[in-house]
Amino acid sequence: MTAKEITPVKAGAVSVPYGHVIGNEKWRGSQIAQGLQGKIKVILEDGLGLVDFHLSNRSCILYISEADLVAGNGFKRRLVRFRNASSLHGIVLVEKTQISDQYFPAVQKFIVLELGMTLLPVANQEEASQLIIQLVHEQSKDQTSNPFLRKKCSQLLEPSILRTVQQIPGVGKTKALLLLQQFVSIHQLCNASVQDLELVVGQAIAQQIHAFLSQTK
């Protein structure tokens, strides 16, 4: 590696238009570049430094080939330099093949658990291009289309409150309903005196409920 190493990541990153991927010039003519063609717009640029593909202005891909893995720890230095130089979310694609399989657990531990980056194994460049297409699609989609980012709609609390009150020993559904009609919330129920409780349930149960709620260790 030469002068490129001076700037590990291109200054100001790159602003990637929606549905585009900006790739390092070195990938021209590669299987990955071919696989992407026709599916998403690919722009190849010089001077991306350590980054192989920019997916958006927040995330990028670093590619580790089978040969990189077998060659030794050079790729680790590259990843550490990237981490120190950039706040971009780095997704590391690793070629996991029969030959590189043995290195995978250690590599995963290093990338995910030590560096806190994301790692995705691929069998070859063809799989990598398929995966990159999906990553780009995901980035350009509206946030609400991701089921894991969707705001959950607020649920009705009443059934849960009823269930919680029924966890009090001696209280079934009927008594729970009676208690909640009288004390309205769990908070109020917890602060009810034995006398208050007796107005709703029998004396024995009232004492049992009070004992449960105010029981100290």
Give the CA-trace dihedral at 13, 14, 16, 17, to 10 degrees.
140
151: left (phi over 0), alpha (psi -120 to 50) or beta: beta
Q: Verify binding: residue 16, other proteins, rule CB under 8 A.
A: no
Q: How far apart are CA 144 and CA 103, in angstroms?
A: 38
Tokens matching residue 6: 């001076």
Q: How far apart are CA 60 and CA 51, in angstroms?
A: 7
Q: How far apart are CA 120 and CA 63, in angstroms?
A: 10
Q: Verify binding: residue 153, other proteins, rule CB under 8 A.
A: no
Residue 198's Cα: distance from chain center in Å?
A: 51
| Binder among 43, 191, 202, 204 for other proteins (CB under 8 A) | 191
Q: Verify binding: residue 190, other proteins, rule CB under 8 A.
A: yes
Q: Verify binding: residue 71, other proteins, rule CB under 8 A.
A: no
Are the beta carbons of 158 and 165 closer than 8 angstroms? no
Q: How many CB atoms lie within 10 A of CB 88?
A: 20
Q: Per-residue string for binding with other proteins, 119-148, x by CB under 8 A?
A: xxx-x---x--xx-xxx-xxx------xxx
Q: Verify binding: residue 204, other proteins, rule CB under 8 A.
A: no
Binders of other proteins among 75-114, rule CB under 8 A? 91, 101, 104-106, 108-109, 112-113
Alpha helices in the chain (DSSP H): 31-36, 66-71, 74-85, 104-108, 125-140, 158-165, 173-183, 186-190, 194-198, 203-214
Q: Verify binding: residue 164, other proteins, rule CB under 8 A.
A: yes
| Binder among 21, 180, 200, 206 for other proteins (CB under 8 A) | 180
| Binder among 163, 199, 202, 203 for other proteins (CB under 8 A) | 163
Q: Verify binding: residue 156, other proteins, rule CB under 8 A.
A: yes
| Binder among 19, 160, 203, 204 for other proteins (CB under 8 A) | 160
Tokens matching residue 8: 């590990």
| Binder among 2, 3, 29, 152 for other proteins (CB under 8 A) | 152
Residue numbers at the binding site for other proteins (CB under 8 A): 91, 101, 104-106, 108-109, 112-113, 118-121, 123, 127, 130-131, 133-135, 137-139, 146-149, 152, 155-164, 166-169, 173-174, 177, 180-181, 184-187, 190-191, 212-217
